[in-house]
Amino acid sequence: MKKLILALAILATSTAQALEPIPNIVPVPADNPMSAAKIELGKQLYFDPRLSLDGTVSCNSCHNVMAGGADDRPTSVGINGQRGGRNAPTVWNAALLSVQFWDGRAATLEDQAKGPPLNPIEMGMPSEQAVEERLSSIPGYKTQFDAIFGQLSYDNMAKAIAAYERTLVTVNSPFDRYVNGDNMAMSDQAVKGMARFEKIGCTNCHSGINFAGPEMTMGEGFYQKFPLFESKYTRQYNLDEDKGRYEVTKDSADTNTWRVPSLRNIAVTAPYFHNGVVKTLNETVQVMAVTQLDVTLSESEIEEIVAFLNTLTGEFPVQTMPRLPGIAGESLVGSIK
């Protein structure tokens, strides 16, 4: 048994070197340093549905930190029951991405946090000023913003939320322990799956600490065309209906191009793909092999790769629900004309 484990470890050495364990420290921009007070304010804002027009949707509604960081739906539900067009990416380890959103339209977590409150399908607030006025009407928020930033503003709201999101990192997965020297952290099947993951070419896109591509300067995204090869899955799952980054740049070269998603915690973030149409991880592996690598895998090969992907689930920092600041004798929801 020991000889088998050693042989598998040698087989996987090149793969483990091509991939990297997750760091304990995430990049923090110079203009938004972390502090306990800022993180706590950001956490309150993240959980507060009053950032939405009708008081029904918070950041956590679509990116549930009590679970896998998404919402387990193909596409998320916004105000008035509206459905978005894309699957909600997980917020866990988003701080390690160089751009945000499926199409990379936000360069930073701060930029990303500014989007949903004003999106008419998501939170539906009419303007930045409307958000500022609502938050200013809540004494507890006004006091915290003044103490931390010197003023309450839409930009500072985004900075606080981003500071909280930078604490949402899942370390010490079985894979991380394995590449850090614990040869017993991964099963034989998972080690074989890691080697196969590299051999068939998955690491061409899913490499680096977040399994989302090489380390890049913040704001410089790593993108790939999807689907790359025409197949039955393209039609079955409408994989090329959404034009991806093209909708941002209007450059034909960006048609059906996407920011490469992280594979960290992928086992707990179903359903899969930008439109959330594939329900299981096993089928997702087969679809990716066919559409991106022009390879058809056997059931046993799929099981090996899935066993490896399961080792990418890290330890989730314990989250507690924050106490939100209130306002006496009045409801703010519906007060915006």
State the amino acid at position 272 in one-letter form: Y
Within 10 angstroms of residue 80's Cβ, the number of other Cβ atoms is 12
Q: How far apart are CA 86 and CA 315, in angstroms?
A: 27
CB 58 within 8 A of CB 76: no
Backbone φ and ψ of 159, nearest 5°:
-65, -40
Within 10 angstroms of residue 266's Cβ, the number of other Cβ atoms is 22
Residue 157 in 3-state DSSP? helix
List helix spans (H) across 137-261: 139-148, 154-165, 174-179, 188-199, 232-236, 246-249
Q: How far apart are CA 187 and CA 190, in angstroms?
A: 5
Q: How far apart are CA 130 and CA 181, in angstroms?
A: 52
Enumerate the active-site residues: 122
Q: How far apart are CA 53 and CA 114, in angstroms?
A: 15
* Matching residue, tokens 């029904």: 56
Within 10 angstroms of residue 200's Cβ, the number of other Cβ atoms is 17
DSSP state at residue 199: H
Closest CA to 109 of 209, 206, 218: 218
